[in-house]
Amino acid sequence: DTAVSQTPKYLVTQMGNDKSIKCEQNLGHDTMYWYKQDSKKFLKIMFSYNNKELIINETVPNRFSPKSPDKAHLNLHINSLELGDSAVYFCASSQDDNEQFFGPGTRLTVL
Amino acid sequence: AQSVTQLGSHVSVSEGALVLLRCNYSSSVPPYLFWYVQYPNQGLQLLLKYTTGATLVKGINGFEAEFKKSETSFHLTKPSAHMSDAAEYFCAVRYSGGGADGLTFGKGTHLIIQP
């Protein structure tokens, strides 16, 4: 029983397309996150979300939008994909001030 | 603003030797500090964390780290390296009450274990 799961694991698509990545956590955590890991393995926070507020990293283009249908899910929608969006995207969750649990990642390749 | 510096993008040690991965942080408020490990094509796994209390923190797989406020450091050590320790290691920081802001990561250190 995976704590934080993501689908798909791999996503290959053309420039200009719109795609979504799904994330689910079964830990009962209040806060979920999306991180981007670039080709140099640098990790950067994109969004954090709980049932009260969405915090957006100011460097994230507005083509990226998180959608949370319920407390256990935080999906990532990306419009008009660009070459520079190619990366590994990680979902994570945490409760209060405790550590974050990460999903296995989704490798996005934009052609 | 907070930041993390990991000295050495690549560290190579012999099997059985001491592992030392360096991490320095910058934070205007007391930090929470973390070390995560990432194996190839996998997600991040928590090794250990410092929030409050004892400054020497023990984690999984024989790793430990010591929070030194005067040096703004949180270096990761393991007395004897094993081949299975080969991975990418990330130091991360956030501050108390800042959980919703996410973690600020260092650039990572690739640990190579030589037989």
In this predicted structure, the answer to whether residue B98 has a pLDDT above a threshold of 70 is no
Lowest mean pLDDT among A98-102, B14-18, B57-61: A98-102
Q: Enumerate residues 6+ apart whose C-beta is below 8 A from A60.
A: A46, A47
pLDDT attached to residue A1: 65
Express as a percent the part of chain A with pLDDT over 70: 98
In this predicted structure, the answer to whether residue B99 has a pLDDT above a threshold of 70 is no
pLDDT attached to residue A26: 96
Name which of B94, B95, B93, B56 is nearest B76 in CA terms: B56
Residues 21-60 of chain B with CB under 8 A from chain A are: 32, 34, 36, 38, 41-46, 49, 51
Query: CB contact, 8 Å: A55 with chain B?
Result: yes
pLDDT in tens, B52-96: 888 999 999 999 999 999 999 999 999 999 999 999 999 999 876
Residue B93: what residue type? V
Helix and strand numbers, DSSP H then E, in chain A: 0, 11
Q: Do A97 and B97 touch (CB under 8 A)?
A: yes
- pLDDT class for B97, splitting at 50, 70, 90? low
Lowest mean pLDDT among A11-15, A50-54, B39-43, B62-66: A50-54
Name which of A91, A86, A92, A80 is nearest A107 in CA terms: A86
In this predicted structure, the answer to whether residue B10 has a pLDDT above a threshold of 90 is yes
pLDDT attached to residue B96: 60
**Nearest CA-CA distance, residue B10 and chain A, Å:** 12
Residues 68-107 of chain A with CB under 8 A from chain B are: 90, 92, 94, 96-105
Query: CB contact, 8 Å: B111 with chain A?
Result: no
Chain B residues within 8 A of A48 when measuring between CB atoms: 100-102
CB contacts < 8 A (A, B) = 60
* Furthest-apart CA atoms within chain A: distance in Å: 39
Q: Read off the pLDDT of each residue in B40-60 and give the average, rounded to a whole number.
A: 92
